């Protein structure tokens, strides 16, 4: 049989299977693997996503003309074609109309989707949208991009944009808008958190035509789709005024923001996703402490809240409220230990043995039991068990050991402690303060005093990240907080935490980074070889444990709490609520 006939037979068979799958697809995504024997001329993997139908990894026949016009032929013994059927999730019985109030433990900082504070998260996917979005099983779903092609080394991706999408000011969303978003993200002043993600890997963005954009990277980029998932598109004409205004493509547009009181959004009638949003309007209302937030839900003042602790789950459910668990592994509790910069006056935290002593003095088991009410899991490294950067033996490091802590302090020249540490935290999570109090009590046994400041979000941000007045230097010793994004590709940890490679609040002076650390991280983020990456991540995690500047405690387990008449609550892999899906039955 000729090669052409064999290839034609395979194509017919595949088309038949695809037609059967599309015609009979269930409501949840499926993966179907079809092995077959073929011979092709240089097989090249492409990813093609067909909106609401099929995402396919397929073998594309390419003819490669080499020197002297000789065709290179590659024999492929087995080809596995994956077809992922993507069907929209129906909202059976969804009703249009109504208003919702969303309560959270503090006010938003601004309207900037590049400022990735958790208090800003509620508006991210409601004012704005991203090119792609992970679902809760980490499947890649099309959003403002409907299809894409990635080269085999993940150094370039070409995205086909959704046509007819409008910004809230009526202008059409086009490729030049994507280019300007990535250019802003790559700017060391304007890029904020996104700069830390893009600067190590991003090269340039090019508009191929009105609806096609090409993103080029400095080298292989294994976390490429993490970047696309994280970056929300916003109109270039709004980029200089995001403290007061917002122009996105999301299901809601800004109505008003009264800082400290509320921010309100109304339905965007020209939103691209048919039939959505269901609500007419929704409002974010900040609360100064956790108990006030719970009281607002129980009293019917708010309809949805985020951050319900496991200890309150049974009581709220008994009162008729609905509790929905957030994304597992999203947030990890960490205490940032801030050593002085090399060009500043040196303090005890400049010695890593003092930081290691603080790590040994953290009784994780007791803190989880008392501050987290037993709803936690001891963590010493930052990564979940499914991560390529997880190592079970390293997870056993730093058991609670005050004698070891005392020994390290003695070696560092502080046998009786004799110094005070300034700790900061916010009231957005009551576990922060309870955890800090327990840790401080054990540090007191070593002669170390801890002064705990409970701060409003704006003051905490200034202390944590610095201001112009402090030359962008952080002003704290310990920060009891939480951080996310390490549950995706491990590179997320170094894009949006104290470890971020650019604009790090812990290492603002680049020379202060541990020797070789940044180079190891950059190498791990620029190869797609899994074994090589695992080898690099082990070295990186070992350095982190040794340096003890960002010390984990436990996973954070939280719930969304809602009134019983609220339906359709969904959220992304970082617990950003998607209000476009929410509807009311009252």
Residue 134: is its pLDDT beyond 60? yes
Q: What is the mean pLDDT of residues 75-100?
A: 56
Does 34 share its domain with 55? yes
Domain ends where: 85, 107, 140? 85
- Structural domain including 455 reads 331-555
**pLDDT for the residue 72:** 32
| Least confident piece of the model among 43-47, 123-127, 179-183, 370-374 | 43-47
Does 425 share its domain with 531? yes
Q: Encode pLDDT of 12-70 as tens digits.
A: 444 444 344 334 433 333 332 333 333 333 333 333 333 333 333 333 333 233 333 33
| Least confident piece of the model among 246-260, 277-291, 519-533 | 519-533
Of the pLDDT bands very low, low, confident and very high (cuts 50, 70, 90), residue 395 is: very high
Does 239 share its domain with 267? no
Give the distance, in angstroms, between the CA of residue 87 and the centroid of all CA atoms in the same chain: 24
- Collapsing DSSP to helix, strand or coil, 81 comes out as strand
Q: Which comes out higher in pLDDT, residue 461 or 497? A: 461
In a 13 Å sphere around the CA of 242, the CA atoms on its Cβ side amount to 26
Does 67 share its domain with 156? no
Exposed, middle or buried: residue 123 (CB in 10 Å: 0-12, 13-18, 19+)?
buried
Q: Encode pLDDT of 61-71 as tens digits.
A: 332 333 333 33
**pLDDT for the residue 330:** 83
Give the integer Cα–Cα distance in Å for 120 and 341. Answer: 29
- Collapsing DSSP to helix, strand or coil, 328 comes out as coil
Does 394 share its domain with 530? yes
What CATH number has the domain bearing residue 134?
3.90.76.10
Give the integer Cα–Cα distance in Å for 284 and 579. Answer: 11
| Least confident piece of the model among 24-33, 124-133, 307-316, 509-518 | 24-33
Beta strands at 70-71 and 79-85: parallel, antiparallel or unpaired: unpaired
Q: Which comes out higher in pLDDT, residue 90 or 368? A: 368
Asked if residues 221 and 156 have their Cβ atoms less than 8 Å apart, the reply is no
**pLDDT for the residue 15:** 41
Q: How many CB atoms lie within 10 A of CB 407?
A: 15
The torsion angle over the Cα atoms of residues 364, 413, 479 and 438, rounded to 10 degrees, is 40
**pLDDT for the residue 488:** 84
What CATH number has the domain bearing residue 277?
3.40.190.10
Domain ends where: 247, 280, 299? 247
Q: Which comes out higher in pLDDT, residue 51 or 259? A: 259
Exposed, middle or buried: residue 165 (CB in 10 Å: 0-12, 13-18, 19+)?
buried
Whole-number mean pLDDT of the chain? Answer: 84
**pLDDT for the residue 145:** 98
What residues pair up with 263 in beta bridges, in sequence order? 257, 284
Q: Encode pLDDT of 322-355 as tens digits.
A: 999 888 778 899 999 999 988 888 999 999 999 9
Asked if residues 378 and 365 have their Cβ atoms less than 8 Å apart, the reply is yes
Does 345 share its domain with 393? yes
- Collapsing DSSP to helix, strand or coil, 333 comes out as strand
Asked if residues 214 and 156 have their Cβ atoms less than 8 Å apart, the reply is yes
Does 422 share its domain with 536? yes
Domain ends where: 215, 247, 279? 247
Max avg pLDDT among 157-161, 243-247, 506-510: 157-161
- Collapsing DSSP to helix, strand or coil, 147 comes out as strand
**pLDDT for the residue 365:** 97
Q: Which comes out higher in pLDDT, residue 29 or 539? A: 539
Give the integer Cα–Cα distance in Å for 187 and 247. Answer: 20
**pLDDT for the residue 447:** 98
| Least confident piece of the model among 13-17, 162-166, 212-216, 539-543 | 13-17
- Collapsing DSSP to helix, strand or coil, 562 comes out as strand
Does 79 share its domain with 108? no
Q: What is the mean pLDDT of residues 255-282?
A: 96
Give the integer Cα–Cα distance in Å for 571 and 126. Answer: 11
**pLDDT for the residue 427:** 86
Of the pLDDT bands very low, low, confident and very high (cuts 50, 70, 90), residue 89 is: low
Does 140 share its domain with 191? yes
What CATH number has the domain bearing residue 523?
3.10.105.10
**pLDDT for the residue 118:** 84
Report the number of distinct structural domains present in the chain. 4
Q: Encode pLDDT of 210-238 as tens digits.
A: 999 999 999 898 889 999 999 999 999 99
Q: Which comes out higher in pLDDT, residue 1 or 353? A: 353
Q: What is the mean pLDDT of residues 74-102?
A: 58
Asked if residues 362 and 333 have their Cβ atoms less than 8 Å apart, the reply is no
In a 13 Å sphere around the CA of 283, the CA atoms on its Cβ side amount to 18
Helix (H) or strand (E) holding 129: strand 129-130
Residue 151: is its pLDDT beyond 70? yes
Q: What is the mean pLDDT of residues 404-432?
A: 95
Does 375 share its domain with 510? yes
**pLDDT for the residue 496:** 63
Max avg pLDDT among 58-62, 122-126, 506-510: 122-126
Does 340 share its domain with 445? yes
Residue 208: is its pLDDT beyond 50? yes
Give the integer Cα–Cα distance in Å for 327 and 138. Answer: 11
Does 383 share its domain with 499? yes
């Amino acid at each position: 049989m000729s090669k052409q006939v064999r290839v034609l037979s395979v194509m017919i068979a595949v088309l038949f299977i695809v037609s059967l799958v599309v015609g009979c697809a269930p409501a949840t995504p499926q993966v179907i693997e079809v092995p077959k024997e073929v011979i092709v001329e240089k097989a090249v993997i492409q990813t093609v996503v067909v909106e609401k139908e099929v995402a396919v990894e397929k073998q594309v026949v390419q003819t490669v003309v080499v020197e002297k016009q000789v065709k290179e032929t590659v024999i492929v013994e087995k080809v596995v074609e994956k077809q992922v059927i993507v069907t929209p999730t129906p909202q059976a019985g969804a009703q249009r109309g109504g208003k919702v109030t969303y309560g959270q433990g503090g006010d938003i900082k601004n309207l900037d989707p590049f400022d990735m504070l958790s208090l800003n998260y509620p508006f991210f996917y409601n004012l704005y949208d991203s090119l792609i979005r992970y679902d809760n099983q980490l499947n890649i779903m099309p959003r403002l991009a409907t299809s894409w092609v990635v080269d085999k080394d993940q150094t370039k991706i070409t995205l086909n944009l959704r046509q007819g999408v409008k910004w809230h000011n009526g202008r059409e969303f086009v490729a030049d808008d994507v280019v300007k978003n990535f250019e802003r993200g790559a700017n060391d002043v304007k890029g904020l958190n996104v700069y830390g993600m893009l600067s190590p890997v991003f090269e340039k963005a090019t508009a191929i035509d009105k609806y096609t954009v090409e993103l080029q990277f400095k080298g292989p980029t294994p976390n490429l789709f993490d970047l696309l998932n994280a970056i929300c598109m916003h109109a270039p004409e709004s980029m200089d005024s995001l403290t007061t205004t917002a122009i996105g493509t999301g299901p809601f547009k800004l109505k008003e923001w009264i800082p400290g009181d509320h921010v309100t959004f109304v339905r965007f009638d020209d939103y691209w996703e048919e039939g959505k949003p269901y609500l007419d309007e929704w409002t974010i209302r900040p609360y100064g402490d956790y108990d006030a937030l719970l009281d607002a839900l129980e009293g019917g003042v708010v309809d949805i809240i985020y951050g319900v602790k496991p200890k309150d789950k049974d009581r709220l459910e008994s009162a008729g409220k609905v509790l929905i668990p957030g994304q597992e592994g999203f947030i990890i509790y960490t205490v940032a230990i801030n050593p002085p910069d090399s060009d500043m006056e040196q303090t005890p935290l400049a010695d890593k043995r003092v930081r290691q002593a603080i790590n040994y003095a953290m009784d994780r088991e007791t803190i989880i039991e008392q501050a987290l009410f037993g709803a936690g899991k001891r963590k010493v490294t930052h990564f979940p068990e499914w991560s390529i950067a997880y190592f079970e033996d390293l997870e056993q490091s730093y058991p609670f050991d005050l004698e070891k802590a005392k020994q390290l302090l003695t070696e560092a020249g502080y046998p009786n402690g004799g110094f005070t540490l300034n700790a900061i935290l916010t009231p957005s999570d009551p576990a922060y303060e309870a955890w800090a109090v327990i840790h401080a009590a054990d540090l007191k046994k070593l002669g170390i005093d801890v002064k705990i400041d409970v701060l409003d979000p704006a003051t905490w941000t200034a202390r944590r990240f610095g201001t112009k007045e402090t030359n962008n230097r952080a002003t704290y010793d310990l920060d009891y907080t939480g951080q996310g994004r390490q549950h995706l590709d491990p590179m997320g940890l170094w894009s949006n935490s104290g470890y971020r490679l650019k604009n790090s609040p812990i290492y603002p002076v680049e020379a202060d980074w541990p020797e070789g650390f940044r180079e190891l991280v950059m190498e791990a983020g620029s190869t797609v070889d899994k074994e090589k990456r695992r080898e690099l991540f082990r070295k990186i995690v070992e350095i982190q444990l040794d340096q003890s500047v960002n010390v984990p405690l436990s996973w954070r387990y939280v719930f969304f709490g809602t009134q019983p008449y609220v339906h359709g609550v969904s959220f992304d892999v970082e617990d950003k609520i998607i209000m476009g899906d929410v509807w009311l039955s009252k």
